[in-house]
Chains A and B, each alone.
Chain A
């Protein structure tokens, strides 16, 4: 059995609004697993169930074989990092970090040694006497992490820990988190709505939608092979066309033929492709081609993005700066078989 398991977790507020609908998740020891999804998908609720802030109406939460569903928060021994950092404003960095150890009634010398060790690991040694309001966001974030880690928790739970930082710091911090997490080998749950952040840091990603996990896999597999239309949309696929199976190939309603590399067992499904994977057909191919008209153009830096109207709807296409098109130009889009992904509707 996996190290951490959530079985059939159901949570609802006010009896009407169901937040989690029979959620299942397994996490192996030492893994960093992200819960990814739009706001309101239940990812933070899932984390709060694990932390013990929310009592699920149904389901079981196990860690290392023990049922912890009814164990109160303060007896779980999990490290938590909040979006707002939630440092104790009336305590210095040192005392913030020492708080959890004092609760465990450790000796003064032992506390001192452990606090100093973790401050060192998190690069905070020089800031030990500061108070939270005297520090920058990135520093506070590191204190929050140190405070959560010093108690040697069985699980580390991170609730959007990077969303209050500016873009550059965010990238540095996520590398930092990954480094510390691997160094200490601590099993970690990470909640985020940012797919780039999530893919860069995670061993596994659980994409959530409306209270259930839609896909649970490695970042690479999710990026390349989303299973459902929702997952595809969430991770940057912008073009969708309805397809029907006919023999070895797939057809649109008006009979255009598409070949794909990875077939799908369902008969009616959706083909999807990223804007940057669409090419221009200049060789007069017959399969995997859509004819359309160029619409609005936007500049993305490395490339231009065109909105192309086709018989299968509007398509977003990214093209290098050299390939210039004008509004109204006819265009033939080539959807390579290895980039066209089939997902469930």
Chain B
């Protein structure tokens, strides 16, 4: 009994630690003053209006969406076959190849950002958008290979062999039998990859250029010069959007399907 109470107390403390800053940010977003204060002295919605009126926010938000979706889709197109090959073949050096594919999650983002800056921007001089896309593809690919790979590890490949034996050529069997049975892994990979691309700062900071910048990078810039409740308002908007997506996912796929 006593142990249970202690556990509850710890759980409440941890939860509070996680949730209180979010609550404070939410409250400060509605403040009327020009500095972020808590508690707020007057109520206003003007900072929300400011979020939607700032052109740099709007543009960079769209850029982030575009980069995130494109990078994720490309990562899926590359990552699913790669994960399949890693799961299916018995070749030597499979372990090494796996670690190489997963290395961008281990190497600090700042290093990847710098290397890509050096290579893509200074040496190859490729356009800013293409550079950003390449960087984000690199950041998201490991998540796709990891998550789809673990989904494939659970897959009984004799199902695929059964399809071959029934007259289904290998390529067709992959689409007809393997893919439909790893859809939960693919949607989880999509979510994780997209979120990671959308949140990424170090790679984006290095690869952003004149006129093209991702949302987090723009936000960082903004905070440096204007520390006002707009930042809180942006956070609130993002939190609300995330919650909405999670509710939709839960209602359609079930949150549990992402954890599989």
Q: Interface on A for B, CB 8 Å cutoff?
A: 51-53, 72-80, 82-84, 86-90, 99-100, 103-104, 144, 147-148, 151
Stretch at the interface among B15-23, B108-116, B121-129, B156-164: B156-164
- Given A87-B159, A89-B159, A73–B180 Cβ distance below 8 Å? no
Complex A-B: 24 CB contacts under 8 Å: A51-B165, A52-B164, A74-B164, A74-B169, A74-B170, A76-B165, A80-B161, A82-B162, A83-B158, A84-B158, A86-B156, A86-B159, A86-B161, A88-B159, A89-B159, A90-B180, A99-B166, A99-B168, A100-B167, A103-B166, A103-B167, A104-B167, A144-B162, A151-B166
- Are B158 and A99 interface neighbours, CB within 8 A? no
| A221 and B139 alpha carbons, distance in the complex (Å) | 66
Which of B156, B162, B164, B166 is packed against the most chain A CB atoms within 10 Å? B166
Per-residue CB contact flags for chain B residues 174-215 toward chain A (1 = under 8 Å, else 0) read 000100110000000000000000000000000000000000
- Are B156 and A84 interface neighbours, CB within 8 A? yes
- Are A78 and B159 interface neighbours, CB within 8 A? no
Q: Kindly list chain B residues whose C-beta atoms are within 8 Å of the C-beta of A148.
A: 165-166
Chain B interface residue number, banded: 10 to 19
| A87 and B161 alpha carbons, distance in the complex (Å) | 11
Instruction: Give the Cβ gap from B164 to chain A, nearest Cβ, in Å.
Output: 4
Instruction: Give the Cβ gap from B14 to chain A, nearest Cβ, in Å.
Output: 37
Per-residue CB contact flags for chain B residues 43-60 toward chain A (1 = under 8 Å, else 0) read 000000000000000000
| A104 and B162 alpha carbons, distance in the complex (Å) | 15
Closest to B90 in A: A13
Q: Kindly list chain A residues whose C-beta atoms are within 8 Å of the C-beta of B161.
A: 51, 53, 73, 80, 82, 86
Task: Select one of B165, B173, B180 contacting A78, CB under 8 A.
Answer: B165
- Are B165 and A88 interface neighbours, CB within 8 A? no
Closest to A147 in B: B166
Q: A88-B159, A89-B159, A151-B167 are in contact. List 14 more A-B contacts (CB 8 A).
A: A51-B165, A53-B161, A74-B167, A74-B169, A74-B170, A74-B173, A80-B161, A82-B162, A86-B159, A88-B163, A88-B181, A90-B181, A147-B162, A148-B166
Q: Kindly list chain B residues whose C-beta atoms are within 8 Å of the C-beta of A84.
A: 156, 158
| A4 and B134 alpha carbons, distance in the complex (Å) | 55
- Are A74 and B162 interface neighbours, CB within 8 A? no
| A151 and B163 alpha carbons, distance in the complex (Å) | 12
Q: Interface on B for A, CB 8 Å cutoff?
A: 156, 158-159, 161-170, 173, 177, 180-181
Q: Kindly list chain B residues whose C-beta atoms are within 8 Å of the C-beta of A99.
A: 163, 166, 168
Task: Select one of A53, A79, A88 contacting B177, CB under 8 A.
Answer: A88
| A90 and B143 alpha carbons, distance in the complex (Å) | 25
- Are B166 and A100 interface neighbours, CB within 8 A? yes
Which of A79, A83, A86 is packed against the most chain B CB atoms within 10 Å? A86
Instruction: Give the Cβ gap from A82 to chain B, nearest Cβ, in Å.
Output: 4
Q: Kindly list chain B residues whose C-beta atoms are within 8 Å of the C-beta of A74.
A: 164-170, 173
Q: Kindly list chain B residues whose C-beta atoms are within 8 Å of the C-beta of A72.
A: 164, 169
Q: Kindly list chain A residues whose C-beta atoms are within 8 Å of the C-beta of B169.
A: 72, 74
Q: Kindly list chain B residues whose C-beta atoms are within 8 Å of the C-beta of A151.
A: 166-167
Q: Kindly list chain B residues whose C-beta atoms are within 8 Å of the C-beta of A144.
A: 162
| A84 and B157 alpha carbons, distance in the complex (Å) | 10
Which of B159, B165, B169 is packed against the most chain A CB atoms within 10 Å? B165
Q: Kindly list chain A residues whose C-beta atoms are within 8 Å of the C-beta of B159.
A: 86-89
Which of A52, A53, A87, A88 is packed against the most chain B CB atoms within 10 Å? A88
Closest to B165 in A: A80
| A100 and B177 alpha carbons, distance in the complex (Å) | 12
Closest to A132 in B: B159
Which 3 pairs across A and B sit closest by C-beta, in order of nearness? A100-B166, A103-B167, A86-B158
Instruction: Give the Cβ gap from B161 to chain A, nearest Cβ, in Å.
Output: 6
| A74 and B165 alpha carbons, distance in the complex (Å) | 5
- Are B167 and A82 interface neighbours, CB within 8 A? no
Which of B164, B167, B173, B177 is packed against the most chain A CB atoms within 10 Å? B167
Instruction: Give the Cβ gap from B114 to chain A, nearest Cβ, in Å.
Output: 42
- Are B180 and A82 interface neighbours, CB within 8 A? no
Q: Kindly list chain B residues whose C-beta atoms are within 8 Å of the C-beta of A147.
A: 162, 166
Q: Kindly list chain A residues whose C-beta atoms are within 8 Å of the C-beta of B158.
A: 82-84, 86
Q: Kindly list chain A residues whose C-beta atoms are within 8 Å of the C-beta of B173.
A: 74
Closest to B183 in A: A90
Closest to A83 in B: B158
Closest to A90 in B: B180
- Are A73 and B177 interface neighbours, CB within 8 A? no
- Are A86 and B162 interface neighbours, CB within 8 A? yes
- Given A82-B162, A84-B158, A87-B159, A103–B168 Cβ distance below 8 Å? yes
Q: Kindly list chain B residues whose C-beta atoms are within 8 Å of the C-beta of A75.
A: 167
Q: Kindly list chain A residues whose C-beta atoms are within 8 Å of the C-beta of B177.
A: 88
Closest to B155 in A: A89
| A322 and B167 alpha carbons, distance in the complex (Å) | 61
| A104 and B169 alpha carbons, distance in the complex (Å) | 11
| A101 and B158 alpha carbons, distance in the complex (Å) | 19
Q: Kindly list chain B residues whose C-beta atoms are within 8 Å of the C-beta of A77.
A: 167
Instruction: Give the Cβ gap from A141 to chain B, nearest Cβ, in Å.
Output: 13
Instruction: Give the Cβ gap from A61 to chain B, nearest Cβ, in Å.
Output: 15
| A100 and B168 alpha carbons, distance in the complex (Å) | 8
Closest to A153 in B: B165
Closest to B167 in A: A103
| A77 and B164 alpha carbons, distance in the complex (Å) | 10
| A67 and B118 alpha carbons, distance in the complex (Å) | 59
Instruction: Give the Cβ gap from B153 to chain A, nearest Cβ, in Å.
Output: 15
| A52 and B159 alpha carbons, distance in the complex (Å) | 15
